[in-house]
């Protein structure tokens, strides 16, 4: 974004005494993100092309529902069209904190587990939200189509995992379970990389920008990133969500969702180069170890702390 556009934007924001605006390039989204500092406060500014306005309005609604339920996340300061109605913005109060994945191992295993408990409880609250969008198709139809797309992506990819057929076997074994049709509001990218821990050791959830609706347990498909960082945190996340009463069906569905997600991760990584490809290969090797080459349904990282 040009300096002229940024200067024009500053004049449109409902803020006084702006001292600085700095690009903020963390994360994978295509949004324009900036840190805005005023004399009194600090903000995160997110901007998107006006064609994505509806997604931002839904994001805004999720933040409002989060506030109603006292979920620790960004507070919405303002939103609206800008730059001659070519962009839509969300202005969010800044959260001072460290990336949870960077600091979680500074805590004892018991403390890591308790952070996971809190994350699981928060996820359960998000799943009680009123959905901000509707999908009239059944979950069975939607997810079977998603699985078929992921299989095609993998088969068409020039790269393959060692023992990648085991993913196909797991998907074939468990995909009949997706008859479960309890559609809920999804955060969309719920894992330790989208969480912060502040100076008071309070956990905050960020980045609702991939929100959607779907079957509740699919929201755990990225728990592999949690478990890679802290098995205690990942275990707590499961126990917190289920209030220490985890149904057997969850573990089988989790294995299905993780397998499907892993299948498409390699073709996703290909355009980003060798670093991301190695990350996905390493992740798959780790998953095979956790599940003993899918002979287990409950992963080895899951323990009580």
Name the pLDDT band for 93 (thresholds 50, 70, 90). very high
Percent of the chain with pLDDT over 90: 85
Residues 6+ apart with CB under 8 A from 96: 42, 198, 199
What global pTM score does this model have?
0.93
Q: Write down the pLDDT at residue 91.
A: 96
Q: Inform me whether the pLDDT recorded for 28 exceeds 80.
A: no
| Virtual torsion, Cα 243, 244, 245, 247, nearest 10 deg | 100
| Architecture of the domain delimited by 98-290 | Alpha-Beta Complex (3.90)
CA angle 33, 187, 232 (to 5 degrees): 105
> Mean per-residue pLDDT for 105-129?
98
> Mean per-residue pLDDT for 131-159?
93
Own/partner long-range contacts of 179-182 (Cβ < 8 Å, ≥24 apart): 179/140, 180/139, 180/215, 180/217, 180/249, 180/253, 181/138, 181/139, 181/140, 181/215, 182/139, 182/215, 182/216
Q: Write down the pLDDT at residue 130.
A: 93
- With H, G, I as helix, E, B as strand and everything else as coil, classify residue 10: helix
CA distance 100 to 61: 25
CA distances from 82 to 31, 49, 72 (A): 14, 10, 28
> Can you name the CATH fold of 3-93?
Phosphorylase Kinase; domain 1 (3.30.200)
Q: Write down the pLDDT at residue 1.
A: 64
Enumerate the domain spans of the chain: 3-93, 98-290
CA distance 237 to 223: 9
What is the per-residue pLDDT across 198-220, written as a single tens digit (0 to 9) for each? 999 999 999 999 999 999 999 99
Q: Write down the pLDDT at residue 180.
A: 64
What is the per-residue pLDDT across 259-303, written as a single tens digit (0 to 9) for each? 999 999 999 999 999 999 999 999 999 999 999 999 999 999 999
Residue located via tokens 């299948």? 263
Give backbone dihedrals phi and psi of 30, rounded to 5 degrees, phi first.
-95, 5
Report the range of poorest mean pLDDT among 16-30, 64-78, 90-104, 237-251.
16-30
CA distance 117 to 165: 34
Q: Inform me whether the pLDDT recorded for 136 exceeds 90.
A: no
What is the per-residue pLDDT across 158-213, written as a single tens digit (0 to 9) for each? 999 999 999 999 999 999 999 866 789 999 999 999 999 999 999 999 999 999 99
Q: Which of 186, 175, 198, 185 is nearest to 258 (CA)?
A: 175
Q: Inform me whether the pLDDT recorded for 29 exceeds 90.
A: no
Q: Write down the pLDDT at residue 176.
A: 93
């Amino acid at each position: 974004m040009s300096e002229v556009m940024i200067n024009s934007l500053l004049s449109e924001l409902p803020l006084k005494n702006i001292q600085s605006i700095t690009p903020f390039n963390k994360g994978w989204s295509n949004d324009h993100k900036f840190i805005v500092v005023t004399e009194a406060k600090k903000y995160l500014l997110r901007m998107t092309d006006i064609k994505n306005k509806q997604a931002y309005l839904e994001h805004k609604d999720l933040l409002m529902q989060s506030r109603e339920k006292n979920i620790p996340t960004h507070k919405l300061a303002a939103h609206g069209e800008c730059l001659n109605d070519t962009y839509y913005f969300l202005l969010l109060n800044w959260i001072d904190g460290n990336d949870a994945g960077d600091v979680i191992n500074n805590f004892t295993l018991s403390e890591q587990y308790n952070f996971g408990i809190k994350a699981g409880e928060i996820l359960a609250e998000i799943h009680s939200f009123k959905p901000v969008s509707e999908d009239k198709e059944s979950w069975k139809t939607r997810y079977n189509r998603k699985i078929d797309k992921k299989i095609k992506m993998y088969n068409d990819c020039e790269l393959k995992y060692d023992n990648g057929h085991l993913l196909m076997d797991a998907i074939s074994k468990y995909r009949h379970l997706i008859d479960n049709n309890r559609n809920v509001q999804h955060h969309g990218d719920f894992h330790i990389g989208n969480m912060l821990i502040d100076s008071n050791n309070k956990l905050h959830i960020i980045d609702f920008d991939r929100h959607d609706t779907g079957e509740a347990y699919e929201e755990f498909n990225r728990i592999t990133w949690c478990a890679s960082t802290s098995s205690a945190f990942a275990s707590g996340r499961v126990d917190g969500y289920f209030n220490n009463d985890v149904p057997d069906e969850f573990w089988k569905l989790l294995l299905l969702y993780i397998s499907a997600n892993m299948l498409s991760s390699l073709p996703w990584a290909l355009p980003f180069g060798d670093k991301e490809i190695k990350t996905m290969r390493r992740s798959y090797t780790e998953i095979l170890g956790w599940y003993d080459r899918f002979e287990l349904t409950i992963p080895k990282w899951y323990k009580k702390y």
